[in-house]
Structure 1
């Protein structure tokens, strides 16, 4: 019951209950022709277009059909345009991330115009009304781009719209409403809003048809009461699902109690924003840390990805998350997965491990805890927990994903340990002693024959064998050293 109440409170801070507004759903999604009837000759836009500047004041407003404002704000039609489109507003003010993103864009080596599409008057409404207004704002952005094209010959193909939450769908509508056969250059959807968009047709949400290239980052698709804050379905040419897309490191729902204690009811909103807004900070991270670009990999689902089975970059199966993505139009949306850290820089290094284990111990399958320590040419990684999700049985190869926060270079040695608390270690030794397992003195255990590794970021492959072949059995609390099979072969030949 407590969990259900918490879920209800959680969604209440993000969306107005779907049941409460079910009667308004048709109104929120009614046709564009009805929404714009009588507005064709409207001169006053609800959306304000603020050109971001490094000077005092931070921005300069451009007015449609007023060419002098382009000169006043120093708009350069020969440079690309990146437009930031915010989402639904609870308090009616521009959120701090907007200015952080604008500053990050301006810090990029490539010069550009950065415009903030301020649609607060339409976004600071009940959620279903704000959903309806996304079409109005999309139409105004389309008209703004058309005006730039007609007045100063700015090409729409040089425009990149970055929309967060509802702003992602606003950007999609802008792309679909713009006149002519040519499309906007690029649209990036940052955790596009889910309620009243999930399951809708491509014409009623962000879709790959809205620009020459569309990418999306999904960070909060965890469902509560059948709804999720961010849309789960693919909406782009490349759809990125960091950490599976349902939730993000450092944003665990259990933290909501701490946030409530510190911030009151506003703490729930803060908890929800953490995962939803992570999409924004992942994108900003791609601008600020050019030497630490996060790589994502094409995969069917997060469970397959967690086994390390999708770390291939062949045939464009991987891509870079964020601003520096490789733009490629695809006939079908492609889902890409990756892991991240809980804070900037978010990049981690992905490794697939395949371990061949033979279980000689008779009886039921066992569930041991293993750790590894890696020695690399640049650094070491110690006491890594091995996330096996199945019991050790027979003669089998187990595959899993390991991520590292730092680049350790080429792996040159692995220490593999069967972890067991001291108490259980003593019991195991006693148990092994009193039972006559085999002829002679050798005790059965686990045999780790081979460890194969693939590094996702470099696509490098390694194979490791036991350093010593005299005693190949692994028992609780024991550690074995594995070295490159090639190096081991060369050493044995020298003998």
Structure 2
């Protein structure tokens, strides 16, 4: 009796043992190797570790063949496969447990961590690349046996990180592009740049392919490779990551790893990473792509687990590039405003715009200097203003147009209207001000008033 009671308590805690068929069972953990293993090289061996809401703290290694013995694996549920990338040190990925827990929050599903560390842990990157095909074949065989037992490919979601994104693509291709979805987190670039689509992740590998780019000028892959490609801060250099080699390991991996941390943040609903479809990052920063007309009545796409509001339009559009900006640390989200200015100047002026928002004693400033903007008679200028924090309510606005004129007379600029539209909080009121006369290089401050829609 005491043994039964103790076993029941252990089941509730769920941290050390897994209870199955009335007996205790040790947890199956991700393979933990070290630098010595990577140095001498490893031979590929693929393990599949199952997690569900019933055993979140204790993985169960799945048999590749005997489904009947796998009591926690429910073929009627959706199944997410989490596939890691290159592991030069042999250590388990630090993000695995966090991702498993966050996926379990999204829905009651099978979460299968693909442990191919014996194959990815190798100082020779090219060996790991070679092993991606063999890993994909192994997992494809497992999914085919799932199908034979009644599972639907529609319910399969492959989430691949770096090299794991291409493993996911190979699996999808072997299954005829019929798996429900592939999510690629900064697909690896070395050995995959410039190759044909069948040799890397591409949109034909699944019914829906979404890709997040954070290190295209380093370990990530340039270009567009999904039905929707999200580009964080342009897809290359990430805020807060080291800029010089003297920072050590972080200089090499920070941008690349940011894709995982942004995805975790999105799954946790800690950050709202709204992306704006655009032809280029420059056009996005210039405020030319803030409408999301192609996705109405839905809003702009949001990075995360649920892409169902945009799925139909994404499939119709073929390939969509979408851009967003982040801060350097959690919660990563920037607060964005669309700024529309109508000027009536006597003289043509070129300049950049500095905008400050005031809320009590708190002040946030942004400099819109991606290019020189043209201000002349009855010219409408649209800008994107992004801030690291969300100040609310906005009690005062300060504006300065910097033209670089430091020796001549200051020319006046007349603003017929400035309209500031909150993009992250569409329920908030638009802020306007009409007929402002200012001098170049001099700041003018004003209190915003409700917009007169008849003049908007």
Q: What range is the shorter-chain TM-score in?
A: 0.7 to 0.9
2:71 equivalent to 1:92: no
2:168 equivalent to 1:171: yes
Task: Report the alpha carbon displacement of residue 80 of structure 1 after superposing the two structures with TM.
Answer: 1.1
Match of 1:373 in 2: 357
The residue matched to 1:170 in structure 2 has which SS?
helix
2:441 equivalent to 1:465: no
Task: Report the alpha carbon displacement of residue 411 of structure 1 after superposing the two structures with TM.
Answer: 6.1
Gaps of 5+ in 2: 1-42
2:414 equivalent to 1:484: no
Task: Report the alpha carbon displacement of residue 457 of structure 1 after superposing the two structures with TM.
Answer: 3.3
Instruction: Answer with 1 or 2: which has the greater Rg.
Output: 1
Gaps of 5+ in 1: 1-43, 223-227, 260-266, 433-442, 491-495
Q: Check the 8 A contact 1:339/1:348 in 2, yes or no.
A: yes
Residues 1:50 and 1:485: Cα distance change in structure 2 (over 3 Å): closer
Residues 1:369 and 1:289: Cα distance change in structure 2 (over 3 Å): closer
Quote the Cα distance in structure 1 between the aligned partners of 2:148 and 2:390: 50
Q: Deviations over 1:337-395 (max 9, x none)?
A: 01112122222232221323455579xx565763332569xx97533334362166543
Match of 2:22 in 1: none
The residue matched to 2:114 in structure 1 has which SS?
strand
Task: Report the alpha carbon displacement of residue 310 of structure 1 after superposing the two structures with TM.
Answer: 0.6
Residues 1:101 and 1:418: Cα distance change in structure 2 (over 3 Å): same
Quote the Cα distance in structure 2 between the aligned partners of 1:360 and 1:52: 68
Match of 2:199 in 1: 204
Q: Check the 8 A contact 2:357/2:394 in 1, yes or no.
A: no
Task: Report the alpha carbon displacement of residue 56 of structure 1 after superposing the two structures with TM.
Answer: 8.7
Match of 1:303 in 2: 282
Q: How many residues align?
A: 402
Quote the Cα distance in structure 1 between the aligned partners of 2:222 and 2:454: 49
Residue 231 (structure 2) aligned to one of 241, 248, 257: 241
Quote the Cα distance in structure 2 between the aligned partners of 1:453 and 1:488: 13
Quote the Cα distance in structure 2 between the aligned partners of 1:147 and 1:271: 42
Alignment of 1:338-353 (within 5 A): 338-353=324-339
Q: Check the 8 A contact 1:62/1:69 in 2, yes or no.
A: no
Q: Check the 8 A contact 1:418/1:476 in 2, yes or no.
A: yes
Q: Check the 8 A contact 2:189/2:219 in 1, yes or no.
A: yes
2:195 equivalent to 1:215: no
Quote the Cα distance in structure 2 between the aligned partners of 1:308 and 1:69: 57
Residues 1:374 and 1:288: Cα distance change in structure 2 (over 3 Å): same
Q: Deviations over 1:446-491 (max 9, x none)?
A: 3233213333335578462347x6xx2436544232533746999x
The residue matched to 1:351 in structure 2 has which SS?
strand
Alignment of 1:27-426 (within 5 A): 46-52=45-51, 55=55, 58-71=58-71, 74-108=72-106, 110-125=107-122, 126-151=124-149, 153-178=150-175, 183-222=178-217, 228-254=218-244, 256-257=245-246, 259=247, 267=248, 269-289=249-269, 292-316=271-295, 318-326=300-308, 327-328=311-312, 329-330=315-316, 332-358=318-344, 367=351, 370-373=354-357, 382-387=364-369, 389-390=371-372, 394-395=376-377, 396-408=379-391, 414-417=397-400
Question: What TM-score, normalized to structure 1?
Answer: 0.72
Residues 1:473 and 1:342: Cα distance change in structure 2 (over 3 Å): closer
Residues 1:476 and 1:66: Cα distance change in structure 2 (over 3 Å): closer
Residues 1:173 and 1:478: Cα distance change in structure 2 (over 3 Å): closer
